[in-house]
Amino acid sequence: MPVKIEFPDLIQIPLQLPLYATLSPGWTDEKVADVARCFGVKGDCVDAGAWYVTRDDAWTLEVYQASHSLRLERSNYDAEARGVSRCAPDRDKAMAVASRFMAAAGPSMATPEFHSLTELRVSRATGEKLDGEARVVGLQVNYRCALDGLPLVGPGAKAQVSVGLGGELAQAYRFSREVREVSIAKTIPLSQALERFQASDHFADLAPGATVRLTSIELGLLCLPPTEAQGFLAPTYVLRGEVSTELQPRHGFIAYVAAAELDHAPSRRRRFPTGRPSLLGA
């Protein structure tokens, strides 16, 4: 028997949504070398399976073969900030470092926008505190993306720049895909999508007495992890909520539900070779 779900107020949605096909990154040794030069990384490009890796004494650059994504990491970065005085992180300096990284990463169709600034914390066990003593070792500048007013959601559309206490770039990534609009799809009414979600097996293993409450609903375009091939950005309802059971009250979850009838698009096979994204739960 499907679990009963408590839903919030429904949001307003458009009658139609754009469909964006992804463009092949078409990476070559020359293109990867161009990216490496933008960050001052010198070295040979190595095919490491899911990535093209360029490494020198100071930096490691990973370019994702399946998307237009990249990751940069300082080779000698100490994630625990040992030997560094416990000074307060400089927020203005962190923002400046992040802006330089984003500029070097180059433009994309979905321009990343500043989302938040968070503290990077680590815990180190001591004789007095075996569970670890938490300390701030840097700041993380976080970005999110939107395309023509629709947020890009999921693990494959975000950027983050980590800056150490000394104001140095420690590690950073930008996950993105270039796309082109190819069609318009009829929106699945939100009430119908929620009915599908409730009828799915998403909470099939919950014990009797468990409760499920949705706390927010967002409409966006789903982006898969940057290591996965993706044929199109699926219009998606993002459902966030909490599951409460006798043993674990208020456990957060996130689910993705299709917001357009992708499986019945007339030219789906020609335009979208990878089919329905695996993250869609209903």
| Token output for 246 | 């006798």
The single residue listed with the structure tokens 């802006």 is: 99
CB 81 within 8 A of CB 137: yes
Whether residue 260 is predicted with pLDDT greater than 60 in this model: the reply is yes
Read off the pLDDT of each residue in 31-41 and give the average, rounded to a whole number: 97
> Residue 208 — very low, low, confident or very high, per pLDDT cuts 50/70/90?
confident
| Token output for 78 | 């100490």
User: Which residues are paired to 22 by β-bridges?
Assistant: 179
For the entire predicted model, the pTM comes to: 0.86
> Residue 270 — very low, low, confident or very high, per pLDDT cuts 50/70/90?
very low
DSSP for 46-81?
A: EE-SSEEEEE-SSEEEEEETTSS-EEEEETT--TT-
CA–CA distances in Å: residue 271 to residues 224, 226, 259, 275: 17, 20, 18, 9
Mean of the per-residue pLDDT values for the chain?
87
pLDDT of residue 135: 83
Which residues make Cβ contacts (< 8 Å) with residue 242, sequence separation at least 6? 212, 213, 215, 250, 251, 252, 253
pLDDT of residue 125: 60
**If residue 173 lies in a helix (H) or strand (E), which one and from where to where?**
strand 169-175
pLDDT of residue 206: 78
pLDDT of residue 34: 97
| Token output for 226 | 């940057």
Q: Is 146 helix (H, G, I), strand (E, B) or coil?
A: strand
> Residue 265 — very low, low, confident or very high, per pLDDT cuts 50/70/90?
very low
Q: Please give the single-letter amino acid code of residue 167.
A: G
The single residue listed with the structure tokens 């375009």 is: 221
DSSP for 215-266?
A: EEEEEEEE---TTS--SEEEEEEEEEEEEE-SSS-SEEEEEEEESB-GGG-T
- What would the pLDDT profile of 81-135 be if each residue is shown by its tens digit? 666 666 767 899 999 999 999 999 999 989 889 999 999 888 766 556 556 677 8
> Which of 228, 227, 178 minimizes the C-alpha distance to 21?
178
Instruction: Please give the Cα distance from 89 to 109 (Å, whole number).
Output: 32
| Token output for 46 | 């190595």
Of 64-78, 126-140, 207-221, 239-253, the poorest mean pLDDT is in 126-140
Backbone φ and ψ for 34, nearest 5 degrees, come out as: -65, -40
Whether residue 230 is predicted with pLDDT greater than 60 in this model: the reply is yes
CB 169 within 8 A of CB 75: no
Whether residue 13 is predicted with pLDDT greater than 90 in this model: the reply is yes
CB 56 within 8 A of CB 42: yes
Q: Is 43 helix (H, G, I), strand (E, B) or coil?
A: coil
pLDDT of residue 111: 81
CB 41 within 8 A of CB 61: yes
Read off the pLDDT of each residue in 34-48 and give the average, rounded to a whole number: 96
pLDDT of residue 268: 47
Read off the pLDDT of each residue in 211-236 and give the average, rounded to a whole number: 94
Whether residue 273 is predicted with pLDDT greater than 60 in this model: the reply is no
Residues 223, 224, 228, 232: is their CA dihedral positive or negative? negative
Beta-carbon count within 10 A of 155 CB: 14
Instruction: Please give the Cα distance from 160 to 71 (Å, whole number).
Output: 10
- What would the pLDDT profile of 54-82 be if each residue is shown by its tens digit? 999 999 999 999 999 999 999 988 777 66
The single residue listed with the structure tokens 């069609």 is: 183
Of 14-28, 157-171, 177-191, 197-211, the poorest mean pLDDT is in 197-211
Percentage of residues of the chain with pLDDT beyond 70: 86
